[in-house]
Copies of this chain bind each other. A is one copy, B any other.
Amino acid sequence: MAMQAAFLAGFSQLAAQPSRDCAVAVAPTRVAVAAVGSAKVGARVGLKAGIAAPAPAAGRGVRFRASLIEPDGGQLVDLVAPEEGGRRAALRREAAELPHRLRLGRVDKEWVHVLSEGWASPLQGFMREHEFLQTLHFNAIRGQDGRMVNMSVPIVLSVGDAQRRAILADGATRVALVDERDRPIAVLSDIEIYKHNKEERIARTWGTTAPGLPYVEEAITNAGDWLIGGDLEIIEPIKYNDGLDQYRLSPAQLREEFARRNADAVFAFQLRNPVHNGHALLMTDTRKRLLEMGYKNPVLLLHPLGGFTKADDVPLSWRMKQHEKVLEEGVLNPESTVVAIFPSPMHYAGPTEVQWHAKARINAGANFYIVGRDPAGMSHPTEKRDLYDADHGKKVLSMAPGLERLNILPFKVAAYDTKQKKMDFFDPSRKDDFLFISGTKMRTLAKNRESPPDGFMCPGGWKVLVEYYDSLVPSEGSSKLREPIAA
C-alpha cells in the first residue's frame, strides 16, 4: 500500500542514518498564547513568554535516545494481559465463565482500546465515581502522589438497572466485557457501581444540554442509568481488521518510533478532517520554528482521530487515503512525519475535549501540541451559532491543570491568498486578498466535482475527496454539513 510505503520510507530513512549525538533534555516550558484576545490572558495566567530553547546536550559521549516527555503518572499504563506465562489463556477462560457479562457498544470498545494502551494513563480502567466526579468538576484527577493529571472527558461504562441488581445480588467483584458477538474482550475487576446522572454529565462536559449532540445520541441517551468502574485487564490487543490496524500505533510504539528517529521534540497535530495546504503550511512552519529554537530533529505526529465521529464527517478510511496522498505528493515531509491513528471516539466538546486530545498525546510522547481555532467544536445543535467561542479552546488548554508540561502552539490562521494563489498565513493588512474556504464550501465543491482554487489542496488528495462524495448515495446529500473545518 502506497501510503504505508511513504510512511515507512520516512521511518527507515532516518533509521538508516548514522547515530548522532542528540540526547537533549526537552525543557518543560509552556508557550505563551500569542494573540489570544486580551494581552491580560498571557500575563495573568503566568505563562512564560517565548519558547524555551532546548537545554544543551547533557552528559558525556554519544547518546542515541532523545528523552521524551514523561507519561502522566510517570509510567505508561498497559492493560493487555501479557502473552507470556499463560495469562491470556487464563483470563480468556475466566471471562468465558464469569456469570456477569456486559456487552460493549462501538464507543465502549473504543474506550477499552484507549485505556488498554495507556492513552489515558494513569487510568487503570473505566472510571470509578471519585474519578468521574473529579473529571466533571475539575477536568483533572489527583494522583496517588498528590499531583493533578489532566482528565477532562469521562471514560465510563454504563450498566442497566436489571444487570446492576443482578451483580449486586451476587456480590460479584469481577465482570466480563464482551463484544457484539458475545466474545470476551476483557475483565473488569474490583468494580464499583454508581449513578449515571446523564443530565449532569452532559451539562458539565458540553456546557449545554441541547438535544442533538452526536456523542450523546450515540453513547449516552440510550445507555444504562448506572456506571460501572473498575480495573481493566484486556485479553489481547484490540484490532479492527479494517486494513488500517498497522496505523494504530500505541503510545508505547509511538515513543519507540520517536526514540528510534532521535526526535528531540515531538509536535502533535490532532485532526478529523482532510489535510489541506493550510494545515500543511502550519505543520511545516511549526517544524521551522522548532528548528530555529535550537531543536535538531523535531518530528510531527500527524494524528487523525479514528474512533466515533458524526455522520457528516469524512470517514476514517477516506481520510487516511487522503493523508496518504498528502505525503506521496510531498506536501508533508515523510522523513519528519509519523502518521498514526488516535483510537479515541470524538465528543465534539470543544474546550473540554481539546484537553483530552492534548493529554493523550503527552502519553504518546508529544511535548508540543498545535491548537487551532475552535478545536473539537461544532455548530450548536439547536441554535444558529457555533457551540463554543472559537478562542476558548486554546485559552482553556493553556491554563489546564495537569498540562503544565506541554508546550501549547496556537495556530496561526491560514487562508487562500488569491494573489499568490496558495494557502498562506492570513495577513490582516491585505485582508481582501484572502479567501476563507469553509468545510461546507469544500464539501460542496467536492460533491459537485468542482475544483477548489489552485494550491488549496494537493490534486491527489482532492481526488480522494471527490471519490468519497461520489461514493455516497444521493440521499445523503441532504444531511447537515454545516461545521467548519476545525483542524
Contact = CB atoms under 8 A, between A and B. Distances in A.
Contacts of A392: 133
Chain A interface mostly: mixed
Chain B CB count within 10 A is highest, among A194, A388, A401, for A401
Given A44-B128, A137-B351, A204-B203, A38 B192 contact: yes
A106 to B, nearest CB: 26
Interface string A105-124: 00000000000000000000
A20 to B, nearest CB: 36
Interface in A36-75: 37-38, 40-41, 44-46
A241 interface: no
A38 B352 CA distance: 28
A40 B207 contact: no
A149 interface: no
Interface size class of A (residues with CB under 8 A): 35 or more
A41 B194 CA distance: 12
A9 to B, nearest CB: 42
Given A352-B137, A399-B142, A44 B203 contact: no
A140 B40 contact: no
Contact of A146 (B46, B136, B139): B46
Contacts of A470: none
Interface in A140-169: 140, 142-146, 148, 152
Interface string A262-299: 00000000000000000000000000000000000000
A45 B401 contact: no
Nearest to A207: B200
Contact of A203 (B128, B131, B192, B207): B207
B130 A192 contact: no
A404 to B, nearest CB: 8
Given A128-B38, A137-B351, A195-B389, A46 B144 contact: yes
Interface string A349-376: 0011000000000000000000000000
A467 interface: no
Contacts of A197: 207, 389
Contacts of A329: none
Contacts of A194: 37-38
A207 B204 contact: yes
Contacts of A206: 203
A46 B122 CA distance: 15
Contacts of A41: 129-130
Given A199-B207, A395-B129, A138 B401 contact: yes
A40 B204 CA distance: 24
Cβ-closest 8 pairs across A and B: A200-B207, A203-B203, A203-B207, A41-B130, A209-B209, A38-B192, A204-B207, A44-B130
19 contacts: A38-B192, A40-B130, A41-B129, A44-B131, A45-B134, A45-B142, A130-B395, A134-B399, A137-B396, A137-B400, A138-B139, A138-B401, A195-B389, A203-B207, A203-B209, A204-B204, A204-B207, A208-B209, A209-B209
